[in-house]
Structure 1
Amino acid sequence: MKGKTITIALVIMLGLSLPAAFSKNDNFGVDFTFEVVQMSACATCGEYMVADTQIWSEPGAPLVPYRSVSILLPQEAELKDVKVKHGQPIVQKGIELPWGQPPCTYSDTPVMVGKNETIYGSNNMYPNEVFQVVGVEYVKGFAILNVNLFPVQYMPQSGTVKFYPKMTVEVQFGKGMKNKLYRGLAADKADVAGLVSNPDVLTTYEDGPAPLATEEYIIITNDTMLSTFQTLATHKAGYVNGATVYTVSWISSNYSGTDTQMKMRNFIIDKYTNNGCKYVLLGGDTAAVPYRGFYVSTGGYTDSDMLADMYFGHLDGSHNSDGDGNYGETSDGVDFGAEVAVGRAPCQSVTEAQNFVNKVIAYEQAAKPLRVLLHQSRVQSNNSPDARCLAYGCDDYIPGSYYIDYLFEENGTVSKSAWISHWAQDAIAVAHIGHGNTNVYYINYEIGGTVSWYNTDVASMTNTFWPWTTSVACISGQIEANDCLAEAYVMDANNGAIAAIYNDNYGWFNTGNACMYSGEYCIAEFRACWSDGKEKLGDMLNKARSYLASSASSNTTYRWCFYERNLVGDPESPCLTQRGSTPPPDSVTITNPSNGSTVSGTVSVTTSITGSIDEVKFYIDGTLVSDDTSSPFSYSWNTTGYSDGNHTVKADGYVSGTLADTDSVTVNVDNVIDYTVTITTPVSGQTYSGTVTCAATSNCDTVKWYIDGTYVGQDTSSPFQYSWDTTAYSDGSHTVKAEGYVGGVYKAEHSVTCSVDNSTSCLGTTLVSLLILLGATVKLRR
């Protein structure tokens, strides 16, 4: 027994040491189990169904299950290799698996293909590997490895199925760098814990400081609708930590970027990184608040300008890594992990904006009903494939305390009067399946004839509670068109819906499964809402898409569907709970600069307000310097006109000319700046091999890197980094230097001398191997 105890202790010690000192071959494993649930009605000719999997469908190839798994890498880990191990499979013979069919839009007639004779005529394993590495995504700065696991392999010629009940994903990693979007907030860790299979690795991530000034909820609109949306921000301020309205023109004047969309995104990145932003409402149609179009192609269709508001919420990378202006291409390093929840209020006028604001406030203060409406309209003749799959997929996640209202064409013609009547029974959510176009979708397809529901029909509705609604229908969520059906539902002042998650372009399905592709996203929204508790509409959409992020990264049809699912509605509105009607107090808070900070040059003094504040006066050391009467209330302070040392900045908030609240901060003005550069990696005197991510901290705006006096690259944002391939250098001593620049002018530098050794294995790896061997030897002696 003594030997066994030693072995366990060694393993635990090694596991705990990995985050502290990465070698180039550190590793860990994550176990996954699989369970066969059915093989359809025909045990020898149906799909091999495994719990918690999707179906891998390639035209003509055998249909096999797969599971997309998300594995959290340790902080500052860089992926080196992935292996998957499995035990002895369960073997079954005489099985004929069906083959996949091409994806089809809900607007097209399906095309059927025969089986791929090359595959079915061979006895090679399909798929030939039991796993597929999709890649590493960053969500709020956490590195997540996505892998597709295939627990079933098929030998078609002999009809042999191999099923692996257990798989272990072994991950090998080395030392990398911290992601620039990492904040270390407790809420971020909680969100990521719900995304990965190994949340215990969160302990390797350091905690970060809370934002000094918080703006959790931000509205971006134009100058015309600014004051109207301020009413909504004031309401929100009672429920979130900071709510502010900004205009597109203000952002364009204060942030850099090649176009307005990039400036908006850089603004959101700033607010996310420094002010804890969680929710962004785009307050206007595409003329007032521009959209970023993504390029996507699948199934013979291409959309080179698909409205994808995810651009403003998925903040890692550029979504255009090749720089050709076609955002979202498969080669563009698209970020499928959301940092911020985004929704759009497609208002075209102050009147529409006021209607939207009134509707959101009334909705949030309303009691939420315990009723759900699940609809079915046939998508093909004779209901083949069965379109009731959407309802049956969604109802898996609806709690037993809810009444589920099934409105199926299979039970009789769904007329307009029936649609109005069922909505009038006040459901909390409505799921629709059927064909559609920009301003219409079918609520009935075949039994009793086609029944079309148009934008103009929304005004005839009589529901007194506004549900959120989702649909697979084509193009009914095309916001960039002139008033799509999703907009008609949400923008109606009295009826319709509070939010709609519809498709910007074609919805997709499979001839064998009416809910494959687009329907999976709808079902995931119900799962996110009730199973995961993501009741805020933007959080719900982000969580739903996260289930299909790996599929979207590796399959262009899922990618198409991922891009086009936009939220028409407020991303912060909770859909399950009721908010109180007590208005927030009238208050003003200085959000920048923070108290005790050191400032120089020109400083933007910004505020966040609650209540009915309509004027803010700014004072420096008691002297009035600005009187701002429009939100966002701010002042540009040129500190060079003041002596170095402490100064007091004060903001007085007024309501209709009466002082309502005041806030002040004391800052240190220092216009003689001591610029510094400090290299944090590599460390002087240490030995390195392979690729090393050099990093430096600096208060300069640019850091240039040199190896042995030769310029090798620069970085213009913190943390300042350079990827150094040491294999291109001789073994021995080398000097790494970082020079800091401000506005192109040299300010400071720092150098370290380290050693390169690419000829031998890393000591850490050798030590790990020896310890593991020792443990094995102890076991053998026992």
Structure 2
Amino acid sequence: MKTSTAFRLLSVSCLFLMLSLNAGAGQLTLDYTFDCPQVTTVKIGDTLYHRVILEGATNGGPVGSPALPATGAQILLPLGSEVMSVEVTGGERVLLGSDLLVEPVGLPYRLMDGPESAALPTPDESIYGSADSYPAANFEEIGAQSFRGYQILVLRLQPVDYIPATGELFYSPNLRVVVETEETDNVPALLRGFEGDASEVRGRVDNPKVVGSYEAAGTRGTRAYELMILTTDALAGSFAALKTYHDGQGLATEIHTTTDVGSNDPAAVRDYIRNAYLNDGIEYVLIGADDSIIPAQDLYVDSLAGYTESDMPGDIYFGCLDGTWNEDGDGNYGEPNDGAGGGDVDLLAEVFVGRCAAKNTTEVDRFVTKTIWYLSGSHNQPAEVLLVGEYLGFGGISDYAAATLEELEDGASTHGYTTVGIPTADFTVTEMFERDMSWSQSTLATAINNGVHILNHLGHGDNQYAMKFYNSDVLSQLDNTELLFLYSQTCLAGHHDGTDCWAETMNVKTDHGAFGLVMNARYGWGDYNTTDGPSQRFNREFWDAVFEESMPEVSKANQDSKEDNLYRINEPCMRWCTYELNLFGDPAVAIQGAEVTGMRVTPRDSFDTQGMSGGPFSPSNKVYTIENMDATAIDYTVSKTQSWVDLSSTGGLLPGGGSTTITVSINPGADSLGNGMYSDTISFTNGTNHDGDTTRTVNLQVGVATEQH
């Protein structure tokens, strides 16, 4: 997900109470700034409400509460520390208006429901009748999460508040986050110390300099291989061809069985994966059997929209390896208090997971053949994308799926956030929308049989039904030799823990259909008269990961779609979607046409800094990581244009698969600048083949910026 310039991290300071960099007790201070929100009117039923729009922040909250903007913060804790307290201060609030009636958060609906289920968003009178400010706090502490041993505090920042009784609406232009930490003897159990892990963390946290504190822990294990295929003795032989292919392409692969594990129990399987992650450095896991043979962990989840599920089959459990996911011992895995110390469960993945839901060697052979076919670049129509949208019947713009799916074409900047979508400059996108045309099963079968690379669907479904096809129709009507990748928001078609579901049929029950799918194990979710349904948020972030965040591997994109929404995990249906979205396919498969080659520079955001005339300026520097995604060395250069900017290096030779860091700093030359906004452009150039050439902007605010309202 792109970060809008309307929401910026201005400065970071780390005040440790001990001299060593990994001292546990100390303070982290981060400043965030927000542009002035816009207030518009929207009619819902017969009532005229006010809608608050803040770019870079999404509207949400509990059902019936005022829909107010919020955004996420990810703050890396120093090695050897834990959170003692969090304080967020906002300074003087700005009044945006009075006598306003802010629109309420709607109740999400199941995509399998009929039109009669759609209901107008209704205010919760216990909130709307109150004279208290809502929300009561300007932040929500989601909790301390762990990614490969790096401890990351996740917050939901809430810069806008509302007093329903008076209709007064306020916002805070700046929020200062102060995290007090205390020393702990707990060594992160999953810290490997790989440079690749550190690079990943730098790209995802708001204070990347703290990554250096983890260097003191050293390294653990080696990268013996990258992909584990975990199957049974009976099926192992059929995966040999896939192992051979991956090995030949440089992705070291090993086949392990439940005999090696000693059990097919999900907890035992997860422990085995954890050991391989720590000692052998694995990146991917392919669960090589149906749920009846290697079961997923049944997870408990409350949708916060009227439905609960106690046996959600979530393969995310095999990827997020911290804790037990059942700390309270009640057998309901995945509850929000099932993490360490009664906190949330681990939702940042150490490894990336897919499943071959096969019951026998015939189905494994089929899966392997289809996967190798795609990996070998055999698709004759790689540019063909088909968006398939049905009539939903839930009112207004969400009566049909069309407007929701259109947000996937070249991306969208709607509902407070921006995502990059499927680029129409590189792919031919065809729409099959019931809003615009009548289409039948045979219409879609003809289109698929003629050749499609990517298919994205939104419509009704069941465990053996999707896109107007029953399982039997898949077997009888599809004869496509150009296999496709399918993402669908439909209900239950990924229900792989019972009778053979629709996703399994498309993947392992036919030689045709799909080489990979991401589908829901239970219900997909939409909302009344909006394209901002819960399931759509994950769908948008999936393609953003593929085409913007350099994650063409389908397992990484699926997991990233969940992590980009982590600050919203306690909103209706967001945890539900996080648990139920499973990949049916090889986790190492990358979408052709989106592979990252050449040079990659992370993070992708600008270097924003500020201070009064004469300095100092905070933050004083920003670290960018350059990675060579090719197998052969490249010459790279880094340049700038302004004298008040320094670079730690201006270039060099980067070996294949290697990485390095560049620190961009503000030097004393900036002290003489007068009040105003100054900028520079940092150019990163791949001098060998110019694959990955890119730029980053430096924004220096001297003095106090003038607010525009």
TM-score (norm 1): 0.67
CA distance in 2, matches of 1:17, 1:40: 53
State the match for 1:302 in structure 2.
308
- Residue type at the aligned position of 2:407: G
Aligned to 1:418: 443
Q: Distance in 2 between matches of 1:382 and 1:557?
A: 20
Distance 1:86 1:209, change over 3 A: same
Aligned residues: 554
Q: How does 1:427-446 map to 2 (within 5 A)?
A: 427-441=452-466, 443=467
Deviations 1:331-351 (A, max 9, x none): 211211111111110111111
Contact 1:37–1:51 at 8 Å: present in 2 too? no
Instruction: State the secondary structure of the residue aligned to 1:225.
Output: helix
Distance 1:384 1:35, change over 3 A: same
CA distance 1:186–1:24, change in 2 (3 Å): closer
Structure 1 residues 346, 155: CA separation in 2 closer, same or farther (over 3 Å shift)?
A: same
Alignment pair present for 1:542 and 2:575: no
Distance across 1 between alignment mates of 2:38 and 2:592: 32
Equivalent in the alignment of 2:392: 379
Determine whether 1:288 maps to 2:293. yes
**Aligned partners of 2:69 and 2:160 also within 8 Å:** yes
Query: Structure 1 residue 21: deviation in Å?
Result: 6.2
Does 2:386 align with 1:370? Answer: no
Q: Deviations over 1:448-494 (max 9, x none)?
A: xxxx2222222323443323211111111001122211112212543
Aligned with residue 405 of structure 1, among 421, 426, 430: 430
SS where residue 331 of structure 1 aligns?
coil
- 1:81 aligns with 85
Map of 2:402 onto structure 1 = 388
Q: What is the rounded CA distance, in whole Å, between the counterparts of 2:251 and 2:196 in structure 1? A: 13
Percent identity over paired residues:
29
**What is the correspondence of 1:483-498 to structure 2 with a 5 Å cutoff?**
483-498=500-515
Supply the distance in 2 between the matched residues of 1:228 and 1:128 (Cα, whole angstroms): 58
Query: Could you tell me which of 314, 321, 327 is aligned with 1:321?
Result: 327
From 158, 161, 172, the counterpart of 1:153: 161
Match of 2:213 among 204, 224, 230: 204
Q: 3-state DSSP class of the match of 1:353?
A: helix
**1:89-104 matched pairs, under 5 angstroms:** 89-93=93-97, 94-104=99-109
1:345 aligns with 2:356: yes
Q: In the alignment, does 2:317 pair up with 1:311?
A: yes
- AA in 1 matched with 2:504: E
Asked if 1:470 is matched to 2:493, the reply is: no
Residue number in structure 2 paired with 1:139: 147
Residue in structure 2 matching 1:242, options 238, 252, 256: 252
| Residue 182 to residue 174, structure 1, CA distance change in 2 (3 Å) | same
Q: Deviations over 1:167-205 (max 9, x none)?
A: 222211122233100111111122223322222322222
Q: Is the 8 A contact 1:374 1:405 kept in 2?
A: yes
How far apart are the structure 2 equivalents of 1:12 and 1:131?
19
Shift of 1:249: 2.0
How far 1:319 sits from its partner (Å)? 0.6
Taking a change above 3 Å as real, the CA distance of residues 578 and 322 of structure 1, as seen in their structure-2 partners, is closer
Kept in 1: contact 2:154–2:567 (CA 8 A): yes
Worse-matched range after superposition: 18-27 or 400-409 = 18-27
Unmatched segments (≥5 aa) in structure 2: 1-11, 340-344, 412-419, 596-709
Give the gaps of 5 or more residues in structure 1.
1-10, 254-258, 444-451, 580-782
CA distance in 2, matches of 1:173, 1:212: 31
Q: Which has more radius of gyration?
A: 1
8 Å CA contact retained: 1:236, 1:243: yes
Structure with more contact order per residue of length (Cα contacts < 8 Å, sep ≥ 6): 2
SS, match of residue 338 in structure 2: coil
Contact 1:389 1:515 in 2 (8 A): no
In structure 2, distance between residues paired with 1:225 and 1:23:
48
Q: CA deviation at 1:212?
A: 4.0
SS in 1 for 2:51: coil
Q: Deviations over 1:79-111 (max 9, x none)?
A: 111111224333222432111222321233134
Alignment match of 1:128 (pick from 133, 136, 141)? 136
Change (3 A) 1:23 1:264: closer
**Aligned mates of 1:423, 1:188 — CA distance in 2:** 40
- C-alpha distance after superposition, 1:311-338 (max 9, x if no partner): 1111000011112222112221121111
The TM-score, its normalising length taken from structure 2, stands at 0.73
Q: Secondary structure at the match of 2:243?
A: helix
CA displacement at 1:303 relative to structure 2: 1.8
Q: Is the contact made by 2:547 and 2:594 (CA closer than 8 Å) also made in structure 1?
A: no
Aligned to 1:508: 525
CA distance, structure 2, for counterparts of residue 349 and residue 544 of structure 1: 32
Q: Give me the whole-angstrom Cα distance separating, in 1, the residues matched to 2:56 and 2:164.
A: 24
Structure 1 match to 2:684: none
Q: Sort the Cα spacing of 1:204 and 1:62 in 2 relative to 1 into closer, same or farther, 3 A.
A: same
Q: 1:547 to 1:62 in 2, by over 3 A?
A: same
Cα deviation, residue 210, structure 1: 6.8
Matched, 1:454 2:470: yes
Instruction: Write the deviation string for residues 31-57 of structure 1: whole angstroms up to 9, x where unpaired.
Output: 243453663667983321211222223
